[in-house]
Amino acid sequence: MSTENDYLDGNTLAGPLAELFAVDLTVAEGKCVSCGRNGPIADLRVYGPEPGLVARCPGCEEVILRLVRTPDAAWLDLRGVVALRVPLP
């Protein structure tokens, strides 16, 4: 059972995403497909970790991304984000 506030913040995704990407993607800004909200990945509401991490928009609660780690692979579903803006030096 999960309650309305039974989630972690988007910084929870730092470790799992760091395994996939060389840069810290929690500072990347994404635009929600559903409501158009722009914001950093760190602001997302993250549920999980089992069966996978599910990050929802703090504006409309729509699923922004899903990340599932299996013993030999990682599955990243970014269907809820229009685009990611990754700041680079």
Distance CA 7, CA 5 (A): 6
Binding of Zn ion at residue 34 (CB under 5 A)? yes
Smallest CA-to-CA distance from 32 within 55, 9, 16 is with 55
Binding of Zn ion at residue 31 (CB under 5 A)? no
Binding of Zn ion at residue 20 (CB under 5 A)? no
Tokens of 12: 């929870």
Stretch that binds Zn ion, among 8-16, 21-29, 37-45, 71-79 (CB under 5 A): 37-45
Task: Give the residues lining the site for Zn ion (CB under 5 A).
Answer: 32, 34-35, 37, 57, 59-60, 62
